Structure 1
Amino acid sequence: MVEGVKLRVLAAMSGGVDSAVAAARAVEAGHDVTGVHLALSKNPQTYRTGARGCCTIEDSRDARRAADVIGIPFYVWDMAERFHEDVVEDFYAEYAAGRTPNPCLRCNEKIKFAAVLDRAMALGFDAVATGHYARKGDDGLLRRAVDPAKDQSYVLAVLNPAQLAHSMFPLGDTPKDLVRVEAEERGLAVARKPDSHDICFIADGDTSGFLKNKLGSKEGEIVDAASGEVLGSHDGAHQFTVGQRHGLGLKRPAADGKPRYVLSITPVDNRVEVGPREALRVDRIHTGAPVWLGPERTEPFEAEVQLRAHGEVYPATVVPSPKGLRAELHQGAFGVAAGQALVVYDPDAAEHNDASAGVGDRGDAVLCSGTIDATGLNDAAVSSGSAAGV
Structure 2
Amino acid sequence: MKVLAAMSGGVDSAVAAARAVDAGHDVTGVHLALNRSRGTLREGSRGCCTIEDAMDARRTADVLGIPFYVWDFSDRFSEAVVDDFVAEYAAGRTPNPCLRCNERIKFAALLDKAVALGFDAVCTGHYALVTTDAEGRRELHRASDEAKDQSYVLGVLTADQLAYAMFPLGRTPSKALVRAEAERRGFRVASKPDSHDICFIPDGDTRGWLADRLGSAPGPVLDTDGVEVGRHEGSHAYTVGQRRGLSLTRPAPDGRPRFVLEVKPASNTVVVGSREQLAIGELGGERWSWSGEAPAGLDAGFRCHVQVRAHADPVPAVARITAEGVVVRPDEPILGLAPGQSAVLYDGTRVLGQVTVDRTVRVPVPA
How far 1:52 sits from its partner (Å)?
4.6
Deviations for 1:275-332, whole angstroms, at most 9, x for unmatched residues? 1100000110102232011322423101101011111111001112475211111101
Distance 1:137 1:66 in 2: 28
TM-score by length of structure 2 reads 0.94
Q: SS where residue 54 of structure 2 aligns? A: helix
Separation in 1 of the partners of 2:281 and 2:180? 43
What is the TM-score when the length of structure 1 is the normalising length?
A: 0.89
Q: In the alignment, which of 28, 33, 48 is matched to residue 34 of structure 1?
A: 28
Distance 1:24 1:46 in 2: 27
- Indicate the residue corresponding to 1:246 in structure 2: 244
CA contact (8 A) 1:287 1:342 kept: no
The corresponding residue for 2:263 is 265
Q: Which residue of 2 aligns with 1:376?
A: 361
The Cα of 1:254 is off from its aligned counterpart by 1.3
For the 8 Å contact 1:117–1:128, the answer to whether it is kept is: yes
Q: Matched residue pairs, number?
A: 357
Q: Distance in 2 between matches of 1:258 and 1:48?
A: 40
For structure 2, list consecutive stretches of 5 or more residues without a partner in the other structure. Answer: none
Separation (CA, whole Å) in 2 of partners of 1:307 and 1:270: 26
Q: Which residue of 2 aligns with 1:350?
A: none
Aligned letter for 1:202? I
Cα distance in 2 for partners of 1:377, 1:51 equals 37
How far apart, CA to CA, are the structure 1 residues paired with 2:324 and 2:253?
A: 43
Q: 1:82-139, CA deviations, whole angstroms, 9 ceiling, x for partnerless residues?
A: 0000000000000000000000000000100000000000001011000000001232
Q: Distance in 2 between matches of 1:60 and 1:321?
A: 46
* Distance of aligned partners of 1:120 and 1:173 in 2 relative to their CA distance in 1, 3 Å threshold: same
- Aligned 8 A contact 2:229 2:251 in 1: no
The CA deviation string for residues 320-362 of structure 1, in whole angstroms up to 9 with x for no partner, is 247521111110110001111011101xxxxxxxxxxxxxxxx
Q: Does the 8 Å CA contact 1:49/1:56 hold for their aligned counterparts?
A: no
Residue 93 of structure 1 pairs with residue 78 of structure 2: no
| CA distance in 2 between partners of 1:322 and 1:192 (Å) | 51
Of all paired residues, the percent bearing the same amino acid is 59
- Counterparts in 2 of 1:241 and 1:190: CA distance versus 1, 3 Å: same
Work out whether 1:117 is the aligned partner of 2:111: yes
Query: 1:245 & 1:44 partners in 2: Cα distance?
Result: 35
Shift in Å, 1:252: 2.9
Shift of 1:378: 5.5
User: In the TM superposition, what is the alpha-carbon distance from 1:46 to its structure 2 partner?
Assistant: 5.2
Q: Any stretches of 5+ residues in structure 1 without a counterpart?
A: 1-6, 347-362, 381-390
**1:333 aligned partner:** 334
For 2:103 and 2:21, locate their aligned partners in 1 and report how far apart those are by CA, in whole Å.
25
Cα distance, 1:149 vs. partner? 0.9
Match of 2:318 in 1: 317
Q: Partner amino acid for 1:375? A: T
Q: Which residue, 60, 76, 99 being the options, matches 1:105?
A: 99
Structure 1: how far apart are the matches of 2:288 and 2:323?
7
> Could you tell me how far apart the structure 2 residues matched to 1:131 and 1:154 are?
15
Bigger drift between 294-303 and 15-24 goes to 294-303
